[in-house]
A and B are shown apart, each in its own frame.
Chain A
Amino acid sequence: MSYTAIEAEALGKSYRLGLSGSYGSLREAVSGAMRSTVGRAVGRGEKRKTDVLWALRDVSFSVESGEAIGLIGHNGAGKSTLLKILSRIAEPTTGWAQVTGRVGSLLEVGTGFHPELTGRENVFLNGAILGMRRAEIRRRFDEIVEFAGMERFLDTPVKRYSSGMQVRLAFAVAAHLEPEILLVDEVLAVGDAAFQRKSLAKMAEVARAGSTVVFVSHNLATIQALCERAILLERGSVVDDAPVEQAVTSYLNSLERGASKNLLERTDRDGRSWKESKVANLAVYDSVSGEPDVIVGGRPVRIVVGLTKVLPTMDCQLTILNNLGQPITTLDSEVSSPEDVRDPEREPKIECSIEALPLVPGRYRIDVLLRGNQEIQDGLQAAAYFDVEPGLSGGRPMPVDGADGDVVLPHSWRLPG
């Protein structure tokens, strides 16, 4: 029998801007703390203490039991805030929601573990943190340990485990979770790639088994694979609640509308809030014609990232995605080659050269992530779009409609007759 697992009505959440703790008198502090809507926002926008930011505004939707829905939207659109409210971590400022059923979350590997505790002790702790009953953990303990394959290390403190072992144990616990509602914020569950991969597989399994899943992710491909329906949030409000393909399309359209803006004006950024260096502009050039943003396939290409400041040990990661939002490839300067050039005297620009662009004609998007001083400095989705025109790949004309993939490889044949 199906029932309404999650129902939200006019949910709103506001945060007060301004550095917490910067308030003046104790009296003000005490009365401020008594109010339920005090918030934190470090260095975002204008720092006036009376400013109120509505992270969510008038959000209503409902989810039937057994449904898997995705929450999509730009950074800062309110996806994580909504998930935090549904998981009871944060309280709404206005409106209400009703959640029916046992809620479980998948968390980053380290969250549920204490490094000084042994594997055995951590299984109990982590299980309880994920929402399992003690009796349930005890009943399934052997299964969990066998699944992780670490009978021998059960009494070793987890801090002595390799990261791979920690992931295995964390995942073994998570895999035995049987929630009626699974809330997953991919942004919160980041970290180890292996753990992430396994977690996603677990989510798919949970969804197939008839549980309700609410999934927040930037990865549209995963959302499309897992969810039938998606809710698109923009600046805290629901702008689309539709079958997943449709919602993803409206998201991609809104991304493209946002991309044409001056990059420095964009507020939907990743990275530290007090960035030392930001991505100022990003453009793709056809090295033959010298023209930006329209590239002939198979030609050499330069991607140029303009920065606001040069920091020591800067690195840049560029992800190229197709028009469905599926990543095609990632270019990362941190994985270095002897042919890379580092010159501290260089103007504040990072340049990535591709010998022959192996993409079929179509529209593509670039996401950028900037690192410097050992930290993520800046990140922008849809920093630029470019169109690939039909060209030659290794002297051979490219397929004109990219129905069978996005990539074309230079190749040759040997044929009889």
Chain B
Amino acid sequence: MEQLTAEKPAPPAETTTPTPETIRLEPTKGFRRVFAPHELWRYRDLGLQIAVRDVTIRYRQTAFGAAWAVLQPIAFMAVFTLIFGRAAGISSDGLPYALFSLGALVPWMFFANSFLLSSESLVMNQALISKIYFPRVFIPAGVIAAGCVDFAISLTILFLILLVYGIVPSLALFVVPLLIVIAVATAMGAGTALSAINVRYRDVRYVVPFATQLWLFVSPVVYPSSVLSEPLRTLSAINPMVGVIEGFRWALLHNGGSAPWELIGISAVSATVLLIAGLAYFDRVERTFADLI
């Protein structure tokens, strides 16, 4: 260590500035952090920088860059079309199977990637969490914000492909923003909860990829939800991705059926519950992150 020859600090300078804001630090009870809007607002600049960082680094030094956002669903579409569409002959509500699965894969890939990356996000940001304070929810939220950029890109490509197929958007398009909100809420609810559990139990790293695969097959990605009989079909919408996917197919592909309002409605409710539960759990354990990570 260097020896310092610095002078002793001068006595405090007289200032005329008003006494700055006081923060009280004490053991907290109840929900204090995620559900504290002014706290989030106070740290908004850091939240923004974290989101910017996550968006920026996502495809840094990759040859294909943001094309990955498109390549992934298209690759899945190709495989699914061959296996489930051709070989297994699964019904696709009268649509070309490729379009049928792509329409589902675009929201699904957003969800699956966001869920996976956000569940790992707190652990990936260990250094930051153990060294500075900020509302920790910015970390999984930043990852999901980056996922939204991908989502926007793949959605744009989906529109172009639809135009190539001669499918023109109809008024039903107006439901898409709602579906996107449901998908984001689902990813956020599941992602924040799992990221918080991951701080303590690294088992999450093994559970999430596996859970995502299972989730894929209980969501109507490779098959239409019409293969389920009622009331199972309606009940399946408790999985929020059911409403999102069937809503996407209806709004974008006009799969002939009537609007699946009941699915969208149930999914919207369960996504809201999932989001609140996920954030509430995160809020409860947030204060222990620095001690455990």
**A interface with B by C-beta (< 8 Å):** 1-3, 15, 20-21, 29, 33-34, 36, 38-40, 64-68, 84-102, 105, 107-108, 110-111, 114, 116-117, 121, 124-125, 128-134, 157, 180, 188, 193, 196-197, 200-201, 204, 207-210, 213, 218-219, 221-222, 225-226, 228, 326-327
B24 beta carbon closer than 8 Å to chain A: yes
Q: How far is the CA of A114 from the CA of B129 in the complex (A)?
A: 14
Count A-B pairs with CB separation below 8 Å. Answer: 187
Taking CB atoms, residues of chain A closer than 8 Å to B46 are 128-129
| Contact status A204-B130, CB under 8 Å | no
A-B contact pairs, 25 of them (CB 8 A): A15-B291, A21-B201, A21-B202, A33-B285, A68-B9, A87-B132, A100-B20, A102-B20, A108-B131, A110-B127, A114-B53, A116-B60, A117-B53, A117-B60, A180-B20, A201-B4, A204-B4, A204-B7, A208-B7, A210-B12, A210-B15, A225-B4, A225-B5, A226-B8, A226-B9
CB pair A105–B131 under 8 Å, yes or no, is yes
Interface membership of B56, Cβ < 8 A: yes
Name 16 extra pairs, CB < 8 A, besides A29-B200, A89-B132, A226-B4.
A1-B16, A20-B200, A33-B200, A39-B291, A64-B12, A66-B13, A92-B27, A96-B24, A100-B22, A121-B52, A125-B52, A129-B46, A208-B10, A210-B15, A222-B4, A225-B4
Judging by beta carbons under 8 Å apart, are A209 and B1 in contact? no
CB of A88 within 8 A of CB of B202, answer no
Q: Which chain A positions have C-beta within 8 A of B20?
A: 100-102, 180
Q: Is the CB of A96 within 8 A of B26?
A: yes
- Nearest residue (CB) in B for A7 is B22
Q: Any chain A CB within 8 A of the CB of B288?
A: yes
Q: With a CB–CB cut-off of 8 A, which chain B residues contact A228?
A: 8-9
Q: Provide the residues of chain B in CB contact with A93, threshold 8 Å.
A: 27
For the complex, what is the distance from the CA of A96 to the CA of B4, rounded to whole Å? 34
B230 at the interface (CB under 8 A from A): no
- Describe B's contact surface by its main secondary structure: loop
- Residues from chain B with a CB closer than 8 A to the CB of A107 are 131-132
Q: Evaluate contact between A201 and B49: CB separation under 8 angstroms.
A: no
Known: A86-B25, A98-B22, A117-B57. Is A66-B291 also a contact (CB below 8 A)?
A: no
The 7 residue pairs across chains A and B that have the minimum distance between CB atoms? A66-B12, A204-B6, A88-B133, A207-B9, A96-B26, A210-B13, A128-B49
Which of A39, A97, A219 is close to B1, meaning CB atoms less than 8 Å apart?
A219
Answer yes or no: B233 CB below 8 A from chain A CBs.
Answer: no
Give the one of B3, B28, B56, B131 with max A CB within 10 A.
B131
A99 and B23 in contact (CB under 8 A), knowing A38-B291, A208-B9?
yes
Tell me whether A33 and B288 are in contact in the complex, defined as CB-CB below 8 angstroms, given that A221-B3, A226-B4 are known contacts: yes
Closest-CB distance, A211 to chain B (whole angstroms) = 9
Q: Is the CB of B285 within 8 A of A34?
A: yes
**A residues in contact with B19, CB < 8 Å:** 1, 3, 100
Q: Are A125 and B49 in contact (CB under 8 A)?
A: yes
How many angstroms from the CA of A225 to the CA of B22 in the assembled complex? Answer: 29
Nearest-neighbour CB distance to chain A for B22, whole angstroms, equals 4
Given contacts A21-B201, A36-B287, A92-B26, contact A225 B6 (CB under 8 A): yes
| B128: A residues at CB distance < 8 A | 111, 129
Chain A residue at minimal CB-CB distance from B61: A116
Cα A408 to Cα B45 in complex, Å, equals: 56
Cβ A36 vs Cβ B12 within 8 A: no
Question: Which residues in chain B, 186-204, are within 8 Å of chain A measured between CB atoms?
Answer: 197, 200-202
> B28's closest neighbor in chain A, by CB?
A91
Is A65 in contact with B12, judged by CB distance below 8 angstroms?
yes
CB <8 Å contact, B28 and A36:
yes
Query: Contact between A98 and B23 (Cβ–Cβ < 8 Å)?
Result: yes
The answer to whether A94 touches B27 (Cβ under 8 A) is: yes
By beta carbon, the residue of chain A nearest B8 is A228
- Given A36-B28, A204-B4, A210-B12, A128 and B45 touching (CB < 8 A)? yes
A92 B25 Cβ-Cβ under 8 A: yes
Contact B4 A200 (CB under 8 A): yes
- Return the contact of B131 from the options A89, A218, A222 (Cβ within 8 A): A89
- A226-B291 in contact (CB<8A): no
**B200 and A21: CB pair below 8 A?**
yes
Residues of B within 8 A of A92 (CB): 25-27
- For A34, the closest partner residue in chain B by CB is B284
At the interface, yes or no: B11 with Cβ under 8 Å from chain A?
yes
Contact residues in B for A207 (Cβ distance below 8 Å): 9
Least CB distance from A300 to B in Å reads: 28
Q: Is B290 an interface residue (CB 8 A)?
A: yes
Of A91, A93, A121, most buried by chain B (CB within 10 Å of CB) is A91
Which residues of chain A come closer than 8 Å to B292, judged between CB atoms?
A: 20, 38-40
- Residues of B contacting A327 with CB < 8 Å? 1, 3
B132, A105: Cβ atoms under 8 Å? yes
Known A129-B128, A133-B45; contact A121-B56, beta-carbon cutoff 8 A:
yes
B279 to chain A, nearest CB (A): 15
For residue A15, which residues in chain B have a CB less than 8 angstroms away from its CB? 291
Interface centre among B49, B61, B292 (most CB of A within 10 A): B49
**Interchain nearest-CB distance for B198 vs A (Å):** 11
B17 and chain A: residue at smallest CB distance: A1
Cβ-defined contact, A117 with B56, below 8 A: yes
- Give bound CA distance, A70 to B1, whole Å: 16
B80 to chain A, nearest CB (A): 33
Residues of A near B15 (CB, < 8 A) are: 1, 210
Q: Say yes or no: B291 contacts A90, CB within 8 Å.
A: yes
Return chain B residues, CB-CB under 8 Å to A36: 27-28, 287-288
Cα–Cα distance between A135 and B238 once the two chains are bound (Å): 44
Report the separation of the CA atoms of residues A33 and B196 in the bound assembly, to the nearest whole angstrom: 10
Determine whether the beta carbon of B27 is less than 8 Å from that of A91: yes
A204 B9 Cβ-Cβ under 8 A: yes
Give, as a whole number of angstroms, the nearest-CB distance from A60 to chain B.
13
On whether the beta carbons of B25 and A99 are closer than 8 Å, the reply is: yes
A89 contacts B45, CB within 8 Å? Answer: no
The smallest beta-carbon distance between B132 and chain A, in angstroms, is: 6
